[in-house]
Amino acid sequence: MYVAAKGGEKAIRNAHKLLAKRRRGNENLPSVTLEQIAAQLTLAVDRVMAEGSLYDTHLAALAIKQARGDLIEAIFLIRAFRTTLPRFGNSRPLDTGDMLVRRRVSATFKDLPGGQLLGPTFDYTHRLLDTSLAVPDEAGEVDDQAGAAAMRADEADPAEKMPRVTDLIGAEGLIEASPADDGEEPFDITRAPVSFPVDRATRLQTLARGDEGYLLALGYSTQRGYARSHPFVGEIRFGDVEVILDVPELGFPVSIGEVQLTECQMVNQFKGSAEQPPQFTRGYGLVFGQCERKAMSMALVERALRWAELGEEPGAPAQDEEFVLSHCDNVQATGFVEHLKLPHYVDFQAELDLVRRMRREASGRTPADEMKEAAE
């Protein structure tokens, strides 16, 4: 009897109903609100905004809720929505030096202008499960401002500017300068197909929306001898940066809001070349929200990818531009890996035929023999 799967339409509908039910979970419990997600799962929201390439905490929270907490699925939802948005224009380049800093640490200096500011960090916490969180917790004991002051390692004025560490070393010429703005409109990987080899803007954009886990593993590999580049954390800073837009109709720049960013400047050794004296080089990481692991990994991988420009030996996985950049997008990766779930029976039929034929040819058997064998 012929019982091939029919009625795919109904099956899909029912599967989606079941999905909605599972997403909601136990209906005796209150539904989680977007405000709760945005306020209490901030780092999940940050990751979805960063890899989704769309800065909107509310939409990210919605995506997380809809995706049942599957962050790659949430990132995918955000990306698919982002595609449909019109472009109003480009902001001015963000000035991270002018950041309202909420956290800033440097591993290369004990102290520095502006000080070390631990901010909200898991660093130095003991990773012991806190059973007191098992019940609804009380409102915070420290308010933000008092907390910030208490977290400062020094008694510096909170209003003091925090120059970037790389600018401090840069003043001595010990570290390579940031390339000057050439005034060119940067390549936009969301509007044009990437073609290898790529320029630095393309590389950084691709890494900035790349999968955190993938970049973490590649960055880690550079620390274990695959493209070793002797990194130091020159600085990690996290805070709020103003987004400024030139509106031609108005004739003056307008601040359209603030975004939170994590910036990592990795300082790496460079032994120098015929043209350049020995100096420190840098790898750069910049991510929406507080995504420190991602920003650090990005900086390591970015630096490893610069091997050609700095005359270093190639050969490590993290140095392979086409490999690294072609596979770092988790929306692409998850789609293509998961597409193996789709029916492939037409191709499989062709392969079945081939393998049966080859087995027959190898053994000199007939189709009837094979039938008998299959029946046994």
Nearer to other proteins, 138 or 361 (CB): 361
Binding status of residue 351 toward other proteins by CB under 8 A: yes
Strands of the sheet containing 100-105, edge to edge, are 100-105, 231-247, 252-268, 281-288
The H or E element containing residue 305 is none
Give the contact letters, 11-50, x = binds to other proteins (CB under 8 A), - = no.
xx---------------------xx--xx--x--------
Nearest to 47 by CA among 369, 319, 294: 294
State how far the Cα of 234 lies from the Cα of 230, in Å rounded to an integer. Answer: 12
* Residue 74 three-state SS: helix
Give the contact letters, 159-198, x = binds to other proteins (CB under 8 A), - = no.
-------------------------------xxxxxxxx-
Cβ burial of 70 (10 Å; 0-12, 13-18, 19+) is middle
Considering the complex, what minimum distance in angstroms separates the CB of residue 323 from other proteins? 8
Considering the complex, what minimum distance in angstroms separates the CB of residue 1 from other proteins? 5
* Residue 68 DSSP symbol: T
State how far the Cα of 154 lies from the Cα of 34, in Å rounded to an integer. Answer: 37
Stretch that binds other proteins, among 167-175, 217-225, 296-304, 361-369 (CB under 8 A): 361-369
Nearer to other proteins, 42 or 223 (CB): 42
Nearer to other proteins, 96 or 260 (CB): 260
Tell me the one-letter amino acid at 182.
D
Of 76, 214, 238, 280, the one binding other proteins (CB under 8 A) is 76
* Contact (Cβ atoms closer than 8 angstroms) between residue 67 and residue 77: yes
Stretch that binds other proteins, among 6-14, 165-173, 200-208, 214-222 (CB under 8 A): 6-14
Query: Between residue 222 and residue 281, which ones bind other proteins under the rule CB under 8 A?
Result: 257, 260
Binding status of residue 332 toward other proteins by CB under 8 A: yes
